[in-house]
Amino acid sequence: MPDLVAIPNVELVRVGVHEISTGTWTVERADLTDAVEASRAGIVRDPVVKLGHSGMGDAAPALGRVTNLRVAQGGDLLLADFRDVPRSVAALMPKAWPQRSVEGLVNFTDTAGRTWRFVLTAVALLGAEMPGVDGLADVGALYGIDVAATRVVLAAHRGTSDCTRAVAVAAARRRRTHRLTTYPKG
């Protein structure tokens, strides 16, 4: 049985205007409540936790699931729990991937014809890249992951290999030398 853990109360998105990799993204309370309702309605599968936005492409492993979406701080903050995260990944998060960035669909129309303002599809763990949404707590500070335990896990694994209509958004910060990404229409 794999050694998996849960990380509760992960801050994902704040209400505000954010400069992200796909342009300016204005997030309102209604976007966050729609994300919660879409998740509860099962509009898409549970979002996955992954390394970076591009990573290994379609060969990238899911490093956990994003569950229990909810709003906090009067509707200004989207929270979730990460489930089924490999313990070794969780142990590395405070130093290797202290930030995160959401991916999702804006103005997504489902098969019943309802348009959702925002549907969360993934959360990318970020290391060197800055997130587009400012003000989210670092993983280690917020979740109390034991940094000393990280050293133990690293020592144990040293030398091993187990170490419809919508606009897609990826919320990592836009670079000055930003490369444009195009998404297929349809």
> Following DSSP, what letter does each residue of the chain receive, concatenated?
---EEEEEEEEEEESEEEEETTEEEEE-HHHHHHHHHHHHHTSSPPPEEEESSSTTGGGPPP--EEEEEEEEGGGTEEEEEEEEEEHHHHHHHHHH--EEEEEEEEEEE-TTSPEEEEEEEEEEEESSSPBSSTTPPPHHHHH---HHHHHHHHHHHTT-S---EEEEEE-BBPPTTPPP------
Tell me what pLDDT residue 131 has.
81
Tell me what pLDDT residue 186 has.
46
Tell me what pLDDT residue 84 has.
96
pTM for this prediction: 0.74
Tell me what pLDDT residue 95 has.
87
* Domain membership flag for residue 94: yes
The dihedral built from the CA positions of residue 66, 68, 69 and 74, taken in this order, carries a sign that is: negative
* Domain membership flag for residue 181: no
Tell me what pLDDT residue 157 has.
35
**Cβ-contact 47, 121 below 8 angstroms:** yes
Structural domain containing residue 148: 4-170
Tell me what pLDDT residue 142 has.
52
* Domain membership flag for residue 184: no
Write out the chain's pLDDT in tens, 186 residues. 679 999 999 999 999 998 888 889 899 999 999 999 999 999 988 999 999 888 777 788 899 999 999 999 999 999 999 999 999 999 998 888 888 999 999 999 999 999 999 999 999 998 888 787 877 777 666 555 443 343 333 333 333 333 333 445 555 544 433 444 444 444
- Count of domains for the chain: 1
* Domain membership flag for residue 182: no
* Domain membership flag for residue 186: no
Tell me what pLDDT residue 108 has.
94
* Domain membership flag for residue 155: yes
